[in-house]
């Protein structure tokens, strides 16, 4: 009977659909584990396909190719430690989310996921069949049990594994990030450890996939719930964990405990990682955006530079007669501090030509929002022309407050391929800007220091589509707006909940109305980084046509 067991833990960043590339990553981790004398190298859930695959995994040619990739990987890893990783499996007529253990050139064991998540961003009951709860598998004389992700959020699978002889729980995960998620995970895993008396290894994916971010943060718990190892969040990492058997069973030899960043840093790192991976995985290396002199575009520019480097960002100021000199100065200052390219493309001539074209149809009608939106749509046209010409993805810069109430022009400032701050309320934008000015990390490609001038953060927000315009002309002040939205969106609350929280009923009803009538805009908006458990897209699915209002 073995008294020592070495596990190599690899939290890596796969790409959905890149079977060969993901397998190559797994092979490199296996080689690193072999060099370190590991008995088992463990990777996360659905690693070979990337995660989430959504309906892609239903395609027979795809899941068959993924299974063939796993079988080929088993042959490549025949001489050395066992390799465990996630991928699809076929059993009879069912398609399963599975965890494979490869050893001796073959699939030595296979676990099928039992509890299929079907809330927020997950729709696994639609895609996979539920597998049976089974017993442990053996590697190097040690019996391991692998509840797959959601399986470890409930007591039954882990309890069955403990009762049937498991000595260590190895939990593979594709657990996407939202604010506060790490504490939720650790609480669930501590519960499994306390219930079973077994040590637990939690290995999670890292990286961006569409709107979702997988934040890594893998960890090891000893019996009783003490933390024995903590890997960093939002970064790839490989660690070797030694377990020793004593009179009371297996325990992990303590390893490094990476510090967990606070919520502001987690938000910012998630946006940087999500943007970098969205571009890298979709084949883009450069971006551009309209830099208005306002705080939102300044923050997106900073995120882009930290993700890609200043040489890969083009900032474009598109002034009209309503653009203030202060905005021109502020935009130039942001670009200069970031060290990125800065172009100026005035829109006056183009706007005059469009106005003249429409004049016969608009004769006798007073100027209104239509003329304001022409400016925004002209800017979108010009930015998309630059995007097409130079192969640079256009970033859009609307915050969650604006996205919620439709304070944006569809086919105008909403134009773009990705929006890093889509799930960041305006009040949070200000906080993140101040945080970035005061902090710099090794994973940031941009310069240290106050890259966003204080005046950009402190001045009253304005779209500058008419003279002396301020956002507060059209919306409640942002602390009020965001407070109401937090109740209506993040808490799925009601008008009465808003009133109970001290908000004016008329303001709450107006915000609710704007929220509902803007659904069609969100349906056509660019994807953006998911930071909360109620981001716009998969977390919150509402009909576009909707006449219901709270009584």
Element (H, E) at 237: strand 237-246
- Which residues have a Cβ under 8 Å from the Cβ of 534 and sit 6 or more positions away? 489, 490, 491, 492, 540
Whether 468 has a pLDDT exceeding 80, the answer reads no
CA 57 to chain centre: 20
**Res 276 pLDDT > 90:** yes
Q: Is the peptide bond before 52 cis (omega within 30 degrees of 0)?
A: yes
Written as six digits, the tokens of 393 are 């993805």
In CATH terms, 4-251 corresponds, of 3.40.50.300, 3.60.110.10, 3.30.70.120, 3.40.47.10, to 3.60.110.10
Tell me, what's the pLDDT at 548?
A: 87
> Mind listing the pLDDT tens digit for each residue in 6-60?
999 999 999 999 999 999 999 999 999 999 999 999 999 999 999 999 999 999 9
Tell me if residue 113 is catalytic: yes
Which tokens go with 276?
């970098």
- Quick one: pLDDT at residue 2? 72
- pLDDT, position 1: 59
Task: Write the DSSP assignment of 185-229 as a string of letters.
Answer: HHHHHHHHHHHH---EEEEE-EEEETTEEEEB--EEE-TTS-EEE
Instruction: Give the span between the Cα atoms of 358 and 370, in whole angstroms.
Output: 11
Name the DSSP class of 284.
-
Q: What is the 3-state secondary structure (H, E, C) of 121-166?
A: CCCHHHHCCCCCCCCCEEECCEEEECCCHHHHHCHHHHHHHHHCCC
pLDDT surpassing 80 at residue 336: yes
Catalytic residue among 77, 113, 124, 521: 113
pLDDT digit string (tens) for 494-543? Answer: 999 999 999 999 999 999 999 999 999 999 999 999 999 999 989 999 99
CB of 208 within 8 A of CB of 176? no
CA proximity to 207, closest of 235, 173, 171, 178 = 235
pLDDT tens per residue across span 199-211: 999 999 999 999 9
**Phi and psi angles of residue 84, each rounded to the nearest 5 degrees, phi first:** -120, 130
Which percentage of the chain shows pLDDT scores above 90?
92
pLDDT of residue 471: 74
pLDDT band at 474 (very low <50, low <70, confident <90, very high): confident
Active site residue 422: no
Catalytic residue check, 459: no
The mean of the pLDDT values for the chain is 96
- pLDDT for 277 beyond 80: yes
- Which residue intervals of the chain bear CATH 3.40.50.620? 264-523
Rg (C-alpha) for the chain, rounded Å, is 26
- Residue ranges of the chain assigned to CATH 3.60.110.10: 4-251
pLDDT, mean of residues 185-212 = 97
Q: Is residue 487 over pLDDT 70?
A: yes
**CA distance linking residue 369 with residue 522, whole number of Å:** 20
Say what the pTM is.
0.95
Distance CA(68)–CA(548), nearest Å, equals 50
244 HSE (CA, 13 A, CB side): 5
Q: Which of 77, 124, 149, 372 is catalytic?
A: 149
How far apart are alpha carbons 297 and 304 in whole angstroms?
A: 10
Specify the length of the chain in residues. Answer: 551
Q: How many whole angstroms from its chain centre is CA 296?
A: 19
More confidently predicted of 323 and 489: 489
What is the average pLDDT across 231-243?
Answer: 98
Pairing of strands 142-145, 137-139: antiparallel
Give pLDDT tens digits for 58-79.
Answer: 999 999 999 999 999 999 999 9
Q: Which residues does residue 289 pair with via DSSP β-bridges, in sequence order?
A: 315
Token pair belonging to 320: 């009209």
Compute the distance between CA of residue 543 and CA of residue 146 in angstroms, rounded to an integer: 39
* CB atoms inside a 10 Å sphere around CB 548: 8
pLDDT-based confidence at 469, cuts 50/70/90? Answer: confident
What SS3 class is residue 532?
A: coil
Per-residue confidence (pLDDT) for residue 462, from 0 to 100: 75
For residue 85, what are the CA distances in angstroms to 41, 266, 352, 391?
9, 27, 60, 36
Strands 40-42 and 4-11, by their bridges, are: parallel
Strands (DSSP E) contained in 40-150 are: 40-42, 82-91, 94-103, 106-112, 137-139, 142-145
CATH superfamily of domain region 264-523: HUPs (3.40.50.620)
Of 87, 65, 73, nearest to 29 by C-alpha is 73
User: Can you tell me the distance from the alpha carbon of 86 to that of 430, in angstroms, rounded to the nearest whole number?
Assistant: 40
């Amino acid at each position: 009977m073995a008294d020592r067991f070495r596990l190599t833990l690899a939290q890596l960043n796969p790409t959905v659909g890149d079977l060969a590339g993901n397998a190559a990553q797994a092979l490199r981790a296996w080689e690193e584990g072999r060099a370190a004398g590991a008995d088992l190298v463990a990777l996360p859930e659905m690693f070979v396909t990337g995660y989430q695959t959504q309906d892609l995994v239903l395609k027979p040619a795809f899941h068959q190719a993924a299974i063939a990739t796993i079988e080929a990987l088993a042959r490549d890893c025949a001489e050395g430690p066992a390799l465990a990783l996630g991928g699809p499996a076929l059993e009879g007529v069912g398609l399963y989310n599975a965890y494979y253990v490869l050893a001796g050139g073959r699939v030595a064991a296979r676990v099928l996921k039992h509890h299929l998540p079907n809330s927020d961003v997950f729709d696994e009951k639609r895609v996979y069949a539920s597998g049976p709860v089974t017993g442990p598998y053996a590697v190097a004389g040690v019996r391991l049990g692998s509840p797959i992700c959601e399986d470890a959020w409930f007591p039954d699978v882990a309890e069955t594994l403990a009762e049937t002889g498991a000595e260590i729980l190895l939990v593979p995960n594709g657990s996407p990030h939202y604010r506060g998620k790490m504490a939720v995970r650790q609480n669930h895993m501590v519960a499994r450890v306390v219930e079973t008396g077994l040590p637990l290894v939690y290995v999670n994916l890292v990286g961006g996939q569409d709107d979702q971010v997988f934040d890594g943060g893998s960890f090891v718990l000893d019996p009783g719930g003490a933390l024995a190892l903590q890997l960093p969040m939002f970064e790839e990492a490989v660690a070797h964990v030694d377990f020793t058997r004593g009179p009371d069973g297996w325990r992990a030899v303590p390893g490094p405990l990476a510090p967990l960043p606070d919520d502001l840093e987690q938000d910012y790192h998630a946006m940087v990682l999500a943007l970098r991976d969205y571009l890298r995985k979709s084949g883009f290396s450069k971006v551009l955006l309209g830099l208005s002199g306002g705080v939102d575009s300044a923050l997106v520019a900073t995120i882009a530079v930290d993700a890609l480097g200043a040489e890969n960002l083009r900032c474009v100021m598109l002034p009209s007669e309503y653009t203030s000199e202060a905005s021109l100065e502020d935009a130039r200052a942001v670009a200069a501090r970031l060290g990125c390219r800065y172009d100026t493309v005035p829109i006056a001539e183009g706007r005059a030509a469009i106005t003249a074209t429409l004049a016969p149809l608009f004769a006798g009608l007073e100027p209104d929002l239509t003329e304001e939106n022409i400016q925004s749509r002209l800017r979108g046209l010009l930015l998309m022309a630059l995007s097409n010409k130079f192969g640079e993805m256009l970033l859009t810069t609307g915050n969650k407050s604006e996205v919620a109430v439709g304070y944006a022009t569809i086919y105008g400032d909403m134009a773009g391929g990705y929006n890093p701050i889509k799930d960041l309320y305006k009040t949070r934008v200000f906080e993140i800007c101040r945080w970035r000015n005061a902090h710099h990390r090794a994973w940031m490609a941009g310069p240290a220091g106050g890259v966003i001038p204080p005046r950009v953060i402190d001045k009253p927000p304005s779209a500058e589509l008419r003279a002396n315009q301020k956002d507060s002309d059209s919306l409640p002040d942002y602390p009020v707006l965001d407070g109401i939205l937090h109740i209506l969106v993040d808490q799925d609350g009601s008008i009465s909940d808003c009133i109970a929280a001290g908000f004016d009923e008329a303001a709450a009803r107006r915000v609710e109305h704007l929220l509902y009538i803007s659904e069609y805009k969100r349906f056509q908006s660019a994807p953006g980084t998911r930071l909360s458990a109620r981001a716009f897209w998969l977390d919150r699915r509402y009909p576009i046509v909707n006449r219901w209002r709270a009584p």
